[in-house]
Structure 1
Amino acid sequence: MFKYSLYICALALVLTSCHVPKIIEPGRHAELPATFGTSSDSSGTAAVQWRNFFNDKDLAALIDTALKNNQELMITLQEIEIARNDVRVRKAAIAPSVTVGGGVGVEKVGRYTSQGAGDASTEIKPGKEMPDPLGDFRVAATANWEADIWKKLRNARDAAVARYLATVEGRNFVLTNLIAEVANSYYELLSLDNQLLIVRQNINLQKNALEIVKVQKEAARATELAVQKFQAEVLKSQSLEYELLQQVKETENRINFLLGRYPQPIPRETTHFLTQLPSDVTTGLPAQLLANRPDIKQAELELTAAKLDVRVARAEFYPSLGISAAVGLQAFKPSYLIKMPESLLYSLAGDLAGPLINRGAIKAEFSTANAKQIQALYNYERTVLNAYLEVSTELSNIGNLEKNYDLKSKEVDALTRSIDISNDLFRSARADYLEVLMTQRDALEARLELIETKKRQLVAVVNIYRDLGGGWK
């Protein structure tokens, strides 16, 4: 009989293992270029800690507060905890599950049933140990275990571990983006402060010119048209002042939001903004992006998990071996539970089961896992490509902004000198009032553009620090 059982199990194994689909191996992704086209130096700015990269003590204090209070960062920490718990669940599935329990029951069987008739045939007399109704008292430990023959459970555990590590990298990616966002908003706030200062200085300059025109009008050396033109220019600059004040408020609130707090003043030093020098940046080698960028490592780990998911789905085609066992005490009276070995119970059973009818659903799950694996590969390739292009773009941006700032500084110097010249010519009636107005307007625009260019320089350095994978270590 045992021999026939083995034959049946072997036949079931053969039937359920036939025509198992093959795993689709994703193609190889394109390799990164050897350099960024500038230098082959292997030392990169990404290795510098953010406290050493940002020298502004006010900015460092803001970043420190953001790392403690930012809600998005707190959300990612809970995602890590969720993934860690999933790993624990997958690990527990590999080991046998053991439960301990007890039960109490009572049963009265009808006399005219097969069991009741059998009891009657035993001619149990009053005073015998078999009561009616029959009680049931038991205490037992039960164990169930699925033998991981095809590594299904271990692959599921390893996939959970890979996803847990991916959430850790996701948290690092949030960290580096948070630091960059706080720094960029801070530099934007400094640029707005300086633009506001320039506009207010220009308003005073325009008001002085307006008073001169009014005096000239009274002396019949200027017309009402000139007065109105200068008045309109003053009003335009005053309107711009309030626009900048609103932008300052919005930027302060954005920083406070990143810091996880309600509106309050942002401490900052604005007087040395234009004299700040962007930090020196070394890119290192493109291959270092694979180790430094958290989003690349996250995509790589998600690809690893997707590959393991395919193996888990493929193992569903094979039979599973389940083993169950129980040991305990059982009797119809509580006092009999301690009588050994009469009250002892134990059981041991093995089950071999494989899919036969529902293979279509398992094939669909397997195909889905394969598609997600290929999807994860494309996501990884896209993340690597995007990282390289971001660094390449910011490198070009830094170089062009440096040249732009030098030319813009010369333009501001020239226009600043032209203001004094135009005012002197206007006082001596050798220049038209429109020339004075246009000179002042051009000088204001050039100064504002110079401040904007300085902000873009500082932001570009922050962005390339982020794009190289700096900030989270």
Structure 2
Amino acid sequence: MEPKVFHPFVLFFVIMGFSGCANLNTDLSIPEKPLPDSFNDKQVSTAVASINWRDYFADPLLLKLLDTAVGNNLDLQMALQRIETSRSSVKLANAAMLPQVSLNVGGGVRKFGLYTMDGAGNATTEIRPGQIVPENLPDMFIGLQSSWEVDVWGKLESQRKAAVSNYLSSIEATHFVISNLVTDVAIYYNELLALDNELDIVRQTIQKQQEALEIIQIQKEAGRANLLAVQQFNAQLLDSQVLEKTLLQQISERENNINFLLGRYPQPIERTKTEFFDALPKEVLAGIPSQLLINRPDVRAAEHQVEASKFDLQAAKAAFYPNFNITASLGFQAFNPEFLFTSPASLAYSLAGTLVAPIINMKSLEAAFNTAQANQLSAMYNYQKSILNAYVEVANQLSNIKSLQQMSALKKQQSEVLKQSVEAANELYKSARASYLEVLIAQQSALQSNLQLINVTKQQRLATITLYKALGGGWK
């Protein structure tokens, strides 16, 4: 008669488990935004992202800094530990699919009330002839105990796959940290070179302004210039000296920024400022937009997060199904230690299977499922955002590089013209055919033009570095 009692309960649990899953949708999607075929109507066949950063950057001093940064940067070290955390999560997910076996050594004592079934039975039961069950009954056990959740519905497998996807995402996230680190160090280094060259220009200008001030002072003493001219030249000199101090402060800050990325306390940064104009970064070939999906580590990390969210959603759905657990034990059990191993009668074992279906906590399972759905949609939108962001970054830098090339050519012409104008103004002033104001204006214009030329050159270098990162380079 027992099967007639057992089977209806099994059927009831199964029906209850499946009834909660009738309206659970795991096939989610969002509108896709296809990538354009080219960047700014330009399509080339090769991408620079595949070039190792040690080959991309030509300055050996910069390469030395980058090697130190990759070895010591604290953000990178934390990212590496996140990989270890994800790897451990994969191991835990794998272990959850296997039977759990443990060694159990325990003991205790029990006393049943006399007017109970156990107490009355023990009082009249002989273990051996003339030896009844003790009133205070010890219970000692040593052996193996095991439990295993049979993954009938694939919940544990989905959790394992989600852990693997999160692990892969953490690796790509670390690659993105390396890419940002290499880019940041290279940017700060080139800004430092630009500041060095600006400081040289300012100091050269200060020297010329001091010479001009000495000349105007002599002319004032000779009656050929007035006090106002002396004051104007002196004010211009003081303004340049303030600019010199400002540049020195900015140089100190850039050095500290680099040292921070290198994971060390402030110290001088070895560099060669003459490399600023001679060793421009290599020409960048942007490639086709679809290569961003292959080269950009942040895009690949977002893709793995989408995969992880899909498996999390499948696991959340499987939680509505009944769980099938198997428990077993094998060992020795006795009330007296001398019988624990000496008597075959002390051998004890058990084997049981249970089918557990959620009933009361269905609302919490529905909430967990809805959360998993929202997480998957969020991951999908984040993936689309990362692709859009990557495309915009590349398109902006390609346009920026083109504009900066045109600006650089014009600034070089302007700098040469203003250099000649300073020489002409000085000669004309000496022959009294130009005023001191014309000399001041020529000097100030030349200074600003030279500083702007350095700034444009810096922006060219930074745009090339930023494009290298935007295309997915800098982590290999």
TM-score normalised according to structure 2 size:
0.96
- Structure 2 distance, partners of 1:19, 1:98, is 32
The alignment-based identity, stated in percent, is 46
- The alpha carbon displacement at 1:24 in A equals 4.7
1:149-188 matches, within 5 Å, as 149-188=152-191
- The alpha carbon displacement at 1:97 in A equals 0.5
**SS of equivalent to 2:143:** strand
The AA in structure 1 aligned to 2:412 is S
Change (3 A) 1:206 1:125: closer
The AA in structure 2 aligned to 1:18 is S
**SS of equivalent to 2:43:** coil
- What is the aligned partner in structure 1 of residue 9 from structure 2? 8
- Structure 2 distance, partners of 1:372, 1:19, is 21
Contact between 1:156 and 1:308, CA under 8 Å: does it hold in 2? yes
- The alpha carbon displacement at 1:16 in A equals 2.3
CA offsets per residue over residues 346-376 of structure 1, 9 Å max, x none? Answer: 1111111111122112111111110111111
- The alpha carbon displacement at 1:126 in A equals 9.7
CA offsets per residue over residues 184-210 of structure 1, 9 Å max, x none? Answer: 000000000000000000001111111
Say which of 42, 50, 55 aligns to 1:52.
55
CA offsets per residue over residues 374-404 of structure 1, 9 Å max, x none? Answer: 1110000000000011001000111110110
Say which of 188, 202, 207 aligns to 1:199.
202
- What is the aligned partner in structure 1 of residue 381 from structure 2? 378
- The alpha carbon displacement at 1:15 in A equals 2.3
Q: Higher mean Cα deviation, 172-181 or 349-358?
A: 349-358
- What is the aligned partner in structure 2 of residue 432 from structure 1? 435
Q: Higher mean Cα deviation, 2-11 or 156-165?
A: 2-11
- The alpha carbon displacement at 1:28 in A equals 4.1
Is 1:146 the equivalent of 2:149? yes
The AA in structure 1 aligned to 2:221 is E
Q: Higher mean Cα deviation, 462-471 or 269-278?
A: 269-278
Query: Where has structure 1 moved over 6 Å in runs of 4 or more?
Result: 123-126
Say which of 297, 302, 305 aligns to 2:300.
297
- What is the aligned partner in structure 2 of residue 137 from structure 1? 140
Say which of 419, 422, 430 aligns to 2:422.
419
Contact between 2:93 and 2:159, CA under 8 Å: does it hold in 1? yes
**SS of equivalent to 1:263:** coil
Q: CA RMSD in A?
A: 1.6
- What is the aligned partner in structure 1 of residue 231 from structure 2? 228
- What is the aligned partner in structure 2 of residue 355 from structure 1? 358
Say which of 398, 422, 435 aligns to 1:395.
398
Change (3 A) 1:32 1:124: closer
**SS of equivalent to 1:430:** coil
CA offsets per residue over residues 395-448 of structure 1, 9 Å max, x none? Answer: 011111011001000000000000010001111111111100010000000000
Say which of 429, 454, 458 aligns to 1:455.
458
The AA in structure 1 aligned to 2:327 is S
**SS of equivalent to 2:144:** strand
- What is the aligned partner in structure 1 of residue 104 from structure 2? 101
- Structure 1 distance, partners of 2:310, 2:457, is 47
The AA in structure 1 aligned to 2:175 is N
- Structure 2 distance, partners of 1:24, 1:343, is 55
Change (3 A) 1:256 1:134: same
- Structure 1 distance, partners of 2:455, 2:58, is 21
CA offsets per residue over residues 56-115 of structure 1, 9 Å max, x none? Answer: 000000000000000000000011111111111111111111111111223344445443
Q: Higher mean Cα deviation, 233-242 or 102-111?
A: 102-111
- The alpha carbon displacement at 1:259 in A equals 0.4
Is 1:324 the equivalent of 2:327? yes
The AA in structure 1 aligned to 2:463 is A
- What is the aligned partner in structure 2 of residue 30 from structure 1? 33
- The alpha carbon displacement at 1:294 in A equals 0.2
- Structure 1 distance, partners of 2:385, 2:293, is 13
- The alpha carbon displacement at 1:36 in A equals 1.4
The AA in structure 2 aligned to 1:402 is Q
- What is the aligned partner in structure 2 of residue 61 from structure 1? 64
Change (3 A) 1:125 1:320: closer
TM-score normalised according to structure 1 size:
0.97
- Structure 2 distance, partners of 1:405, 1:315, is 62
- What is the aligned partner in structure 1 of residue 212 from structure 2? 209
- What is the aligned partner in structure 2 of residue 17 from structure 1? 18
- The alpha carbon displacement at 1:38 in A equals 5.1
- Structure 1 distance, partners of 2:182, 2:137, is 73
- What is the aligned partner in structure 2 of residue 442 from structure 1? 445
**SS of equivalent to 2:340:** helix
- Structure 2 distance, partners of 1:403, 1:247, is 28
- The alpha carbon displacement at 1:31 in A equals 1.2
The AA in structure 2 aligned to 1:215 is I
- Structure 2 distance, partners of 1:222, 1:44, is 63
- Structure 2 distance, partners of 1:337, 1:344, is 8
The AA in structure 2 aligned to 1:61 is K
- Structure 1 distance, partners of 2:117, 2:239, is 104
1:271-290 matches, within 5 Å, as 271-290=274-293
- Structure 1 distance, partners of 2:114, 2:133, is 15
The answer for unaligned runs of 5 or more in structure 2 is none
- Structure 1 distance, partners of 2:330, 2:210, is 99
- Structure 2 distance, partners of 1:124, 1:457, is 95
- Structure 2 distance, partners of 1:156, 1:358, is 21
Corresponding residue pairs, total: 473
**SS of equivalent to 1:102:** strand
- Structure 2 distance, partners of 1:178, 1:381, is 24
Contact between 1:146 and 1:323, CA under 8 Å: does it hold in 2? yes
Contact between 1:24 and 1:370, CA under 8 Å: does it hold in 2? no
- The alpha carbon displacement at 1:220 in A equals 1.3
- The alpha carbon displacement at 1:336 in A equals 1.2
Q: Higher mean Cα deviation, 65-74 or 42-51?
A: 42-51
